Amino acid sequence: MKNIFKIKTRTAFISYLILDLICVGMGMGVPIFCILFGFLVGWYNARTMPSSSKTLSQTMKKFLLYATTTSAFTFAVMTILWGRWAAILFNSNTDYTNLGIPMILFDPKASFIGWLVLMIFISPFLQLLTTLFASIVTMVRQAKYDSKLPMDDEN
């Protein structure tokens, strides 16, 4: 298990890309598994990060950078997957009720727009939040056992 923390950043990121695509496929285009995968990514970030960072602010900046990078990839995949469906918004003959998308709002067209916003924008943002949450919780829990937390220098 300790060997997983010794792999290079590039190898870890390529592994992430492959696993994220698998998560999208498992969810059949709905990124619920990508959001849940954010917990694992955050845990991994926190376990590998504190040894290379000296202060808490540097550690948090790296957490945010890695979480943003991973959720940006999910955003790109969702844009490719669901973005082409936005073109049918301009077709007046589209029957939105038979697209197979849940009718979460009263109007079928509004439900379709809400679904696209949920898939393309909100889901990657939720993945960002789960990654950050898991990173911070893991760092605090690890600091409890190590009895040290990287702190900023006092002025």
Return d(Cα 25, Cα 9) in angstroms, integer: 24
Confidence (pLDDT) at 18: 95
Return d(Cα 88, Cα 117) in angstroms, integer: 15
Residue 27: helix, strand or coil by DSSP? Answer: coil
Estimate to the nearest angstrom the gap between the alpha carbon of 22 and the chain centroid. Answer: 14
Condensed to tens digits (0 to 9), the pLDDT of residues 84-139 reads 998 898 888 888 888 888 888 888 888 999 999 999 999 999 999 999 999 999 98
Condensed to tens digits (0 to 9), the pLDDT of residues 11-70 reads 888 999 999 999 999 988 889 999 999 999 999 988 887 555 578 888 889 899 999 999
**Rounded to whole angstroms, what are the CA distances from 52 to 29, 45, 85, 119?**
36, 11, 43, 35
Which residues, including other chains, have CB under 8 Å from residue 139's CB and lie 6 or more apart? 46, 49, 50, 59, 63, 149
pTM (predicted TM-score): 0.83
Residue 49: helix, strand or coil by DSSP? Answer: coil
Confidence (pLDDT) at 51: 57
